[in-house]
Amino acid sequence: MISKFIPGTRALRIFVAAGKHLNFSAAAKEISLTPAAVSYQIKEMEEQLGFSLFKRNSRSIQLTPEGSILFTAVSESLDNMEQALGYVRRINKNSSHLTLSVGARFATYWLLPKLGEFKQLRPDLSITLDITDDVRDFGRDGIDMAIRFGNGRYPDCVVNKVFETSVVAVCSAEFLANHQDINKPEDLSRLPLSYVNCTVNGQTWPDWKMWMSQANVNAFDNSQSIAFSDLNHVIQAVQDNVAVGLVEPILVSKQLSQGSLVQLFDLKMKLPDEFAYYFVYPHSSEKEKAVADFLSWLLTVIESHHENIRSLESEPIVVKNSC
């Protein structure tokens, strides 16, 4: 991502985006301009420099030799400026302020309801959330710490695994009351099923075909399932009583404990061991003590969460049936 926050670099950012994509339309989309505006800016730069930056034909553009040299230099310069700006922002902030980068799903369904507890525990520390599924650059983006889902390989960072995850089949209590003939996994084949269709670090997220296979249901047609790009839509479909969904139990533990959602069958699909939620922060941090305090609180809350989950799993009424 090209920073929009370095004053006086608009033309250079446009040039780098065009050089990276070799397509004015793609460059325009990245920096929120029109293709015509990008083309005009590049032409103006070429007139000011006295030579061409791109070779143009009816189908594509290519960097000229001069343009290629400038592209490398400008890209590196902007990156250095972004890192320097991120560092300045961090040291300019009060040490009692932390910025946490966290994915939207984890923030919405797990973290946000609990942050009030941390505020009561440490009223001197304030937390700003950078809610995104993108992997942020700590130095460039001014991030102090992050909760990331992935394989745990984050160079130059302190990495703590905080949550392993799995996927289970759930429905609303009302949906189950209206479909009391659900007794075995095969019975789900005739019902509307929803799941998240995505890939994380090359790992395909579990879908209904994978779940059915683990439940020893063969020849399941996954094309009839409803695929969503975001877990929010899956949970909404379940809560609206229109579908059975594949979700992570850690993200709906409150609804499961309250009984508004019900886990169907005692089948949990685990992802490979390295895929989990990780708490990550840079090795060299000016706010290491504050970050450590937040992590200590987070681990305490997670342990309490695990105890609740173990208690929940001991209640047979939560699980509809065994596979």
Query: Which tokens go with 174?
Result: 């009302």
Query: Which tokens go with 124?
Result: 């001197």
Tell me the β-bridge partners of 149: 277
Segment of 6-10, 251-255, 310-314 carrying the highest mean pLDDT: 251-255
Query: Which tokens go with 279?
Result: 């708490």
pLDDT band at residue 318, thresholds of 50, 70 and 90?
Answer: very low
Cβ atoms of 281 and 137 within 8 Å: the answer is no
Segment 228-283, tens digit of pLDDT: 988 889 999 999 999 999 999 888 888 888 899 999 998 998 888 788 999 999 98
Question: What is the identity of the amino acid at 179?
Answer: H
User: Coil, helix or strand for 17?
Assistant: helix
For residue 212, what are the contacts with CB-CB under 8 A and spacing of at least 6?
185, 188, 189, 218, 220
Question: Residue 317: its pLDDT value, please?
Answer: 38
Cβ atoms of 132 and 211 within 8 Å: the answer is no
pLDDT band at residue 203, thresholds of 50, 70 and 90?
Answer: confident
Whole-prediction pTM:
0.65
Choice between 103 and 6, residue whose per-residue pLDDT is larger: 103
Residues 203 and 205: their CA atoms lie apart, in Å, by 6
Q: Average the pLDDT over each of 150-159, 211-220, 297-306 and give the range with the smallest value.
A: 297-306
Question: What is the identity of the amino acid at 34?
Answer: T
Domains of the chain: 10-91 (1.10.10.10), 93-164+274-311 (3.40.190.10), 166-271+313-318 (3.40.190.10)
Q: Is the pLDDT of residue 44 over 80?
A: yes
What average pLDDT does the segment 2-14 reach?
A: 75
Q: How far is C-alpha 223 from the chain's CA centre?
A: 25
Cβ atoms of 177 and 263 within 8 Å: the answer is no
Query: Which tokens go with 315?
Result: 């209640």
Segment 113-131, tens digit of pLDDT: 899 889 888 888 889 999 9
User: Coil, helix or strand for 146?
Assistant: strand
